[in-house]
Amino acid sequence: MKKVLITGGAGFIGSHIVDKLIMNDYKVVIIDNLLTGSINNLPQSDKIEFYKNDIYKDDIEFIFDRERPDFCIHLAAQTSVAYSEKKPVYDANLNIVSSIKILELCKKYNVKKYLTASSAAVYGMPKTLPITEEHPTKPISFYGISKLTMEKYIELFNLPYVIFRFSNVYGPRQFSSKESGVIAIFHDAMLNNKEINIFDDGTQIRDFLFVKDIAQIVLLTIESDIVNKTYNFSSNTGININKLFVMMKNLYRYNKSPNYLPPRIGDIKDSILDNSQIKSIFKEFKNTSLENGLKELYLSKIC
């Protein structure tokens, strides 16, 4: 039984990857400080070893020494553009310094492949849509800078790696706060009949990626011979925020109108990632449609 170590494995994206790995007979080692993750996100399984540790603050080498993982999926991170503008040192510590720490341990303990999550934010304002991997990287937020810097460290570490630049991820278990993704915020507000704010005029376009699609593509990548590559992963389909609001409003039977507020610092106007490179490798893979993903999200909270 092969062993995968996941940082942030009790979080939104990580827990769905854990589900997929367990179903495919992997042993999973999770490191999570539970600040945003939850034990309740994880299945009951004797294939899981859980360590409540902080990858930045704690000495975690003993975990690598004890567990000797075959693969590492590094997901623990600061994930908010807005929060990175308020707390750039915190953002850099989590996204750069902690990543270096994990990379050093992976190299020391001969991890076969290192996978991690980057972001569309590394591209900055797009010159063309959809954005390919060859698009210039010119971040306009501290978050984007920290993710791009992390990528550069990985490339120089002489460790087999795959980097995924994800678009806007949504789905069950996503924590809702002022700093989280727009679908999670809309979902929570509509379920609880709260007011909804839309920044800018709502015409900005986003590419929304269902979280279970990430779990599937990560599994396929672990089991492939792909190494030393950086890929976009997205739905390759854009929708503006006003249309998303109407789509969710009808599904949730929500009756309020949104409040429009000024744009936020660091927000990109339009973003759609081209996923043709990774889809050309895994031709059998099919993205979940936004309609079906939103239905699953809706049912996950009302059943």
Q: Which residue has the tokens 């590094």?
A: 74
Question: What pLDDT, on a 0 to 100 scale, did the predictor assign at position 222?
Answer: 97
Query: How does the average pLDDT of the chain come out, rounded?
Result: 95
Assess whether pLDDT exceeds 80 at residue 303. Answer: no
Please state the rounded mean pLDDT for residues 71-81.
94
Question: What pLDDT, on a 0 to 100 scale, did the predictor assign at position 268?
Answer: 84
pLDDT digits (tens, 9 = 90+) for 142-157: 999 999 999 999 999 9
H or E, element range at 48:
strand 48-51
Question: What pLDDT, on a 0 to 100 scale, did the predictor assign at position 138?
Answer: 96
- Are the C-beta atoms of 166 and 118 separated by less than 8 Å? yes
Active site residue 252: no
Question: What pLDDT, on a 0 to 100 scale, did the predictor assign at position 178?
Answer: 55
Question: What pLDDT, on a 0 to 100 scale, did the predictor assign at position 209?
Answer: 97
Question: What pLDDT, on a 0 to 100 scale, did the predictor assign at position 32?
Answer: 98
Q: Please classify residue 253 by burial: count the beta carbons closer than 10 Å to its beta carbon, then call 0-12 exposed, 13-18 middle and 19+ buried.
A: exposed
Assess whether pLDDT exceeds 70 at residue 118. Answer: yes
Question: What pLDDT, on a 0 to 100 scale, did the predictor assign at position 179?
Answer: 52
Question: What pLDDT, on a 0 to 100 scale, did the predictor assign at position 215?
Answer: 98
- Give phi and psi for 207, each to the nearest 5: -110, 110
- Residue, of 43 and 1, whose pLDDT is higher: 43
81 pLDDT tier (thresholds 50, 70, 90):
confident
61 pLDDT tier (thresholds 50, 70, 90):
very high
Identity of the residue numbered 86: K
Question: What pLDDT, on a 0 to 100 scale, did the predictor assign at position 181?
Answer: 86
Assess whether pLDDT exceeds 90 at residue 266. Answer: no
Assess whether pLDDT exceeds 90 at residue 265. Answer: no
Please state the rounded mean pLDDT for residues 83-112.
97
Active site residue: 143, 161, 231, 254, which one? 143
CATH architecture of 3-170+209-236+273-288: 3-Layer(aba) Sandwich (3.40)
Q: Which residue has the tokens 């990548």?
A: 221
State yes or no: cis peptide before 263, omega within 30 of 0. Answer: no
What are the domain boundaries of the chain?
Answer: 3-170+209-236+273-288
Q: Which residue has the tokens 């050309």?
A: 280
Smallest CA-to-CA distance from 293 within 169, 117, 167 is with 169
- Are the C-beta atoms of 275 and 233 separated by less than 8 Å? yes
Identity of the residue numbered 288: T
99 pLDDT tier (thresholds 50, 70, 90):
very high
Gyration radius of the chain's alpha carbons: 19
pLDDT digits (tens, 9 = 90+) for 157-199: 999 999 999 999 999 999 876 556 899 999 999 999 999 999 9
Q: What is the pTM of this model?
A: 0.95
- Residue, of 178 and 54, whose pLDDT is higher: 54
Assess whether pLDDT exceeds 80 at residue 202. Answer: yes
Cβ contacts of 166 within 8 Å, gap of 6 or more = 117, 118, 119, 120, 209, 214, 233, 234
- Residue, of 130 and 178, whose pLDDT is higher: 130
